[in-house]
Amino acid sequence: MEIQYYKEPSRFLKREMEFKVFGHSGLPCLAFACEGGRFYDWEDHGMVAALAPLIDAGKIQLFCADSVDAESWLGSGEGRARSEMQERWFNYLTGELIPRVLTLNGGTRERVALLGCSLGAGHALNLYLRRPELVCGAICLSGSYSAAPWFGPYHDDLTLRNSPLEYLPLLHTEGLPSTRLAPLFLCCGRGPYEEDFLADTRAMAQALTDRRMPAFVDYWGEDVSHDWPWWAKQAAYFLPQLLQQLTSKTKPTA
């Protein structure tokens, strides 16, 4: 497997940001780790190994992003500073990292697929909803989709922008561009430590239904815990389905 490591400056974050690339070609997939996660977590916790058949076959190219969760969602400082840090990171993703991903992928594609687990699933869904023109599909596993548990009573315009469960009911979805209909998969287990994430997944599924925004939602068994081994199985299960949907959309019709 071809592996590349990058550490590049960000004008939005005013620091160097790291990311890692696995594979040589295929659908560019941008991956987010769970809360406080780092760019190496997907590799360290078996996610890359689980997706190795797709990576080695050139069907996907996996890009593992770094986070600033420690200074935003998990931070202990003043609320506005934390929400501003989150928004700067969002702008880094959309204005710097995704264009870089597309260039490294060969420069022939205009959109990326998104993968995330736990808080990383929230980041993925937030990006899917806010910048649909950049996204061709998303897989969100055991997601946390509200800023409220992380920011507590603090609330401002930026926490709202990064809280899909709060802003989705406010969206006017009539006449949404077709890019809003990119394939979306939500999955959560019903086992240990999944209670809050299961509640968020069910609430998000209902919010999407209310807005007539299609998504495939799957609830796994009571033995399925909030942990990397299950996310690895889920990612390996759903990614071929996403690839199949994207391939069928590109085939000419009679």
| DSSP codes, 68-102 | -GGGTTS--S-HHHHHHHHHHHHHHIIIIIHHHHH
CA dist., res. 88 & res. 68, Å (int): 10
Q: What is the pLDDT of residue 179?
A: 45
Strand partners, 184: 138
Average pLDDT over residues 167-186: 73
For 33-89, how does the pLDDT look when each residue is reduced to its tens digit (9 = 90+)?
999 999 999 999 999 999 999 999 999 999 999 999 999 999 988 999 999 999 999
Q: Is the pLDDT of residue 129 over 60?
A: yes
CA–CA distance, 211 with 173 (Å, rounded to integer): 6
Q: What is the pLDDT of residues 86-106, one digit of tens each?
A: 999 999 999 999 999 999 999
Strand partners of residue 22: 3, 62
Q: What is the dihedral of CA 94, 96, 99, 101, to 10 degrees?
A: -100
- Tell me what pLDDT residue 116 has: 98
Residue 251 has pLDDT above 90, yes or no: no
Backbone angles phi, psi at 193, to 5 degrees: 65, 15
